[in-house]
Chain A
């Protein structure tokens, strides 16, 4: 069965520190998609990135970067020079892509709460 594990329940850092949020997934599919969402204190879910299983290139967007390693089934998220506005709950999610169970539904990890202190 598909599963997403975010082992870090809570992380606290001081502003300007770098922080990495871990995400490990399990799937039997050869084609799948991975996502990161941010949930700030206001409660909405904000899409950050989508990655397909055939693209293992790392991606950088400003202070955000993502490291996808298929060999270890991990899709980790790093925030460089963290800011107070980065304080949020971050969710990693997996989408099924092929086979009879192809639903497009998202399987979420339990989330990591990041607190960035000034």
Chain B
């Protein structure tokens, strides 16, 4: 069955370190998204991609970067981790980039703690 996976599921790191969170989907979806979930804020969009070599900034992109070298993967990099980036991170994918109609399916999440 097609799925979307994230790794690691839990990560503890120190302030200032570079961290990369992996997201891999086997749906063959064009669109991929990264969100963070914090108490009181729901889910907020960090970055998104409509296809290979395409990346776009979301609502809370400062301090994060993504790259899309193939259809299946959209890794999220924290350039220099800060305590404010302690959060649960969700990756999602959907079929097409236009119209906003396509359902996003989410990965299991990565809980990141920055000490």
Q: Which residues of A contact B (CB under 8 A)?
A: 31-33, 35, 37, 43-45, 47, 50, 52, 91, 93, 95-98, 102-106, 108-111
Contacts and interface: CB of A to CB of B under 8 A. Distances in A.
A31 B101 CA distance: 10
Interface of B: 31, 33, 35, 40-45, 48, 56, 58, 88, 90, 92, 94, 96-106, 108-109
Given A43-B109, A110-B42, A111-B42, A105 B48 contact: yes
B100 A103 contact: yes
Contacts of B96: 104
A110 B39 CA distance: 8
13 contacts: A32-B100, A33-B101, A44-B109, A52-B101, A91-B43, A97-B101, A102-B99, A103-B56, A104-B48, A104-B94, A106-B92, A106-B104, A110-B42
Contacts of A52: 101
B54 to A, nearest CB: 12
Contacts of B44: 108
A81 B104 CA distance: 28
Contacts of B94: 104
Given A33-B101, A44-B108, A106-B33, 16 more contacts: A35-B103, A44-B106, A44-B109, A47-B103, A50-B101, A50-B103, A93-B43, A95-B101, A97-B99, A97-B100, A102-B98, A104-B48, A104-B100, A104-B101, A105-B33, A108-B43
A96 B102 CA distance: 11
B56 to A, nearest CB: 7
A33 B48 CA distance: 18
A45 B90 contact: yes
A35 B54 CA distance: 25
A91 B104 CA distance: 13
Contacts of A33: 100-101
